[in-house]
Amino acid sequence: MTTPTTPEPKDFNYCFWAKLIVAIPAIPLIALMAAAPFSDMTMQVIAAGAAIAASIWLAIKIDRMPCLLRKVNPK
């Protein structure tokens, strides 16, 4: 006899939480790597801000790709 499984909650967004868990350590590392070559504080801030903006823009573009829009397990 099989044991009944509890259904997954419909309102839990796995994709959102996965992105959040990856973004928390990734965004400061991206900013640090972009600012490292500069010695002037102003250039470091500009480089870090531009790198963060570019990475967020790229993440949005990747998220909107048609091949990634369909559900993984449609039922």
Indicate whether this model's pTM tops 0.75.
no
User: In a 10 Å sphere around its CB, with 0-12 CB exposed, 13-18 middle and 19+ buried, how is residue 48 labelled?
Assistant: buried
Write down the pLDDT at residue 3.
Answer: 63
Asked if residue 51 lies in contact with residue 31, where contact means CB atoms within 8 angstroms, the answer is: yes
What is the pLDDT confidence band of residue 14, given thresholds at 50, 70 and 90? confident
**Which strand (E) or helix (H) includes residue 58?**
helix 41-63
7 pLDDT exceeds 60? no
In degrees, rounded to 5, the angle at the alpha carbon of residue 45 between the alpha carbons of residues 41 and 47 is 115
pLDDT tens per residue across span 19-71: 889 888 999 999 999 999 999 999 999 999 999 999 999 988 988 888 877 77
Write down the pLDDT at residue 30.
Answer: 96
Identity of the residue numbered 35: A
Identity of the residue numbered 73: N
